Amino acid sequence: MRNSLWRLLLGRLLFGVPTLWVVITVAFLLVRLAPGGPFDAEQRLPPAVKANLDRTFGLDRPLVEQYQRYLGRVLHGDLGPSLRLRDRRVIDLVREGLPVSLTLGGLALVLALLVGISGGLLAAVRRGRAADRVLAGVSVLAVALPPYVTAPLLVWIFAVYLGWLPVAGWTAGRWLDLVLPVVALALPTAGSLLRIVRASALDVLASPAIQAARARGLSATRILWAHVLPPTLSPVLASLGGAAAGLLGGSLVIESVFGLPGMGRFLVEGALNRDYTLVLGKVLVYAVLVLVLNLGADLGALLLDPRLDRRGAPR
Amino acid sequence: MSRLLRIRLTLALFGLLLVAALVGPALSPWSVAALDWDHPAVAPTWQAGHWLGTDTLGRDVLVRSLAGLRVSLSIALLASAIGLLLGGATGALAGSVGGFVDGLLMRIVDVGYALPVVLVALLLTVVLGRGASTLLVAAGTVGWLSTARMVRAETQRLALAPYVLAARLIGVAPVRLFWRHVLPNLIGPVLVQATLTVPSLVVLESFLSFLGLGVQEPNASLGNLLHDGAREMERAPWLLLAPAVLLVSVVGALTVLGESVRDEIAHAD
């Protein structure tokens, strides 16, 4: 166990570093090869001013030199200055936005897991009955409805019509602000997790191990928690990395709908007005997050299913 | 509901939506961008001929929604075709050649998974500007990854199947072995994959259009219709409702269809 855990950690680290390098390089080349620049405003700047700006940000250097410089800076934890937001450093913007996005995404993930796992188990145990049918319908709806449709609907019902929750906005420490964004973000993930758990639990329930447990006279509750739940969770963990990446993407939209000051802030505008450093920096942070989340999911899978140990680290 | 019945029903629903999207806009007296200045932002009504109402500029919601569905579906279908071809070729190559090529191709796929799709689209927007072509490339990139993994695994599994081993034993050349014996058996799983990729791409398209990175006005897509609808929701809820219902039906139908077909195949063995 110990052994393969370290092997997995080491392997992921050895893979993670080159992955990030490729992401930085490809992203750097992509944004730089594009026509136009950050200072092409609608009003043309006088050539002297533009040259000055380019010099300040090092944009007048050869591309290779800019790339080397950028890479060197990133290794020192510096993502450079934003080109369009005056006097803001990208790392500071990340530092402001990340806690908000992580709180939002983390809570949504927990909620989706809770709802998805318990709902999926319930549907599997009650297969073919009313509860199963209702859950099947609701989960298709949840998967098919993107968060930006559910978000305004939820706002309309709970904030405008009933007046229970705030419409939008974010004040640190006001947990009520988070309820609607978290629910809207979690719904699609919860729906797809529910379907995965249901299918997986049905397979487990049909297995000889469960039959044996029943034959030994174990109580239904004990069978469910000790014998059905753990093997059911394997495919859930396998899908968790993708689900987390989906939540990160979804949080972009949710943040814009609810006006939350998260990582997604300035990002879309940054891409449209060629704020190279801002886009590169935030993309890099997102990539790190996805890698870390995937590692977590793999570790969880290993802890849950010792058989993976003998077959070697999961890919 | 039995699985076969579910497959038939969802297939019928999808067919209906497809036909409506293709011919619907042509049957209406209104066009996608036509402004009806006498009836701006009217609720669904029979009198004025706007069955699902109009938006704030007086454009017919029914026509715009159906046209939007057509645009969204075209992008999703085209992008998943690109993704399936590219991913299928990569996966088949990695799975049948193995060794160094396999390792290299799969590492590329792993790297691709490190970025959320929305960000790939964002990066592409910087290069290509916003619009349908950017969407197409971004969406194709996504379908590519999962298809490559799936086809690789399937190819490896088939390579060990008794009949393939037998064919190898009687001296069938590798290339012929692939075309005659492996490829035909890959088509089924790839088609199932496609029915599951298309709905996720419809959602992705609407996602990006919602962020303002996709299809631009006055063209309609489900994404930008939903965006407009969400903004006017309190005054004109029908603007949100029509495209939302279409989105949910098409995504729901395809998801259930894909899952049911997959289960049907899995349990047929």
Q: Residue A16 in contact with residue A291, Cβ under 8 Å?
A: yes
d(CA B91, CA B102): 9
d(CA A210, CA A204): 7
pLDDT tens per residue, range B209-259: 777 777 777 777 887 888 777 777 767 777 777 888 888 888 888 888 888
The reported pLDDT for the residue numbered B95 is: 81
> For testing the chain B interface, which of A129, A132, A148, A189 should be mutated: the one with the most B CBs within 10 Å?
A148
The reported pLDDT for the residue numbered A111 is: 92
Burial class (CB in 10 A: 0-12, 13-18, 19+), A312: exposed
Q: Please tell me which of the candidates A34, A141, A290 has its beta carbon nearest to residue B127.
A: A34
Q: Residue A262 in contact with residue A251, Cβ under 8 Å?
A: yes
The reported pLDDT for the residue numbered A243 is: 80
Q: What are the Cα distances from residue A214, in Å, to A138, A206, A211, A220?
A: 31, 12, 5, 8
pLDDT tops 70 at residue A81: yes
> Is B127 in the A-facing interface, judged by CB distances under 8 Å?
yes
Q: Residue B73 in contact with residue B15, Cβ under 8 Å?
A: no
3-state secondary structure of A89: strand
- Give the residue-averaged pLDDT of B5-34: 79
- Give the residue-averaged pLDDT of A249-273: 79
CB contact under 8 A, B124 and A283: no
Decide which of A280 and A308 is more confident: A280
pLDDT tops 60 at residue B269: no
Q: Which residues of B touch A145 (CB under 8 A)?
A: 244, 247-248
Q: Which residues contact A185 (CB under 8 A, 6 or more apart)?
A: A104, A105, A108, A147, A247, A250, A251, A254
Q: Which residues of A touch B230 (CB under 8 A)?
A: 148-149, 151-152, 257
Band (pLDDT 50/70/90 cuts) for residue B11 is: confident
The reported pLDDT for the residue numbered A312 is: 45
> For testing the chain B interface, which of A268, A284, A285, A292 should be mutated: the one with the most B CBs within 10 Å?
A268
- Give the residue-averaged pLDDT of B105-128: 76
Domains of chain A plus CATH, in order, are 96-272 (1.10.3720.10)
The reported pLDDT for the residue numbered B53 is: 67
Band (pLDDT 50/70/90 cuts) for residue A311 is: very low
Query: Phi and psi for B60 in degrees, rounded to 5?
Result: -70, 125
How many CB atoms are located within 10 Å of the residue A62 CB? 8
Band (pLDDT 50/70/90 cuts) for residue A115 is: very high
CB contact under 8 A, B116 and A256: no
d(CA A310, CA B7): 40
Lowest mean pLDDT among A82-86, A113-117, A208-212, B153-157: A82-86
Place of tokens 């259009």: B209
Q: Residue A192 in contact with residue A199, Cβ under 8 Å?
A: no
> For testing the chain A interface, which of B108, B122, B228, B231 should be mutated: the one with the most A CBs within 10 Å?
B122
How many CB atoms are located within 10 Å of the residue B174 CB? 10
* ipTM for this model: 0.72
pLDDT tops 50 at residue A276: yes
Can you spell out the DSSP letters for A140-152? HHHHHS-HHHHHH
Q: State what percent of residues in chain A have pLDDT above 70.
A: 86
pLDDT tens per residue, range A24-65: 888 888 777 766 666 666 566 777 777 777 777 767 777 787
Q: Please tell me which of the candidates B126, B227, B248 has its beta carbon nearest to residue A271.
A: B126
> Is B269 in the A-facing interface, judged by CB distances under 8 Å?
no
Q: Which residues of A touch B233 (CB under 8 A)?
A: 152-153, 156
Q: Report residue A283 as tokens.
A: 């993309």
pTM score, two decimals?
Answer: 0.79
Q: What are the Cα distances from residue A125, in Å, to A136, A199, A201?
A: 13, 11, 8
Band (pLDDT 50/70/90 cuts) for residue A315 is: very low
Q: Report residue B265 as tokens.
A: 């195949």
pLDDT tens per residue, range A170-227: 666 667 777 888 888 888 888 888 888 888 888 888 888 888 888 888 888 888 888 8
pLDDT tops 80 at residue B44: no
pLDDT tops 50 at residue B84: yes
Residue B198's nearest CA partner among B132, B154, B150, B147 is B147
The reported pLDDT for the residue numbered A53 is: 72
The reported pLDDT for the residue numbered B144 is: 82
Mean of pLDDT over chain A: 78
Q: Which residues contact B47 (CB under 8 A, 6 or more apart)?
A: none
Can you spell out the DSSP letters for A258-295? HT--STTTTHHHHHHTT-HHHHHHHHHHHHHHHHHHHH
Can you spell out the DSSP letters for B153-194? HHHHHHHTSHHHHHHHHTT--HHHHIIIIIHHHHHHHHHHHH
Q: Cα angle vertex A178, ends A173, A183, to 5°?
A: 155
- Give the residue-averaged pLDDT of A86-93: 77
The reported pLDDT for the residue numbered A162 is: 73
pLDDT tops 60 at residue A249: yes
Band (pLDDT 50/70/90 cuts) for residue A314 is: very low
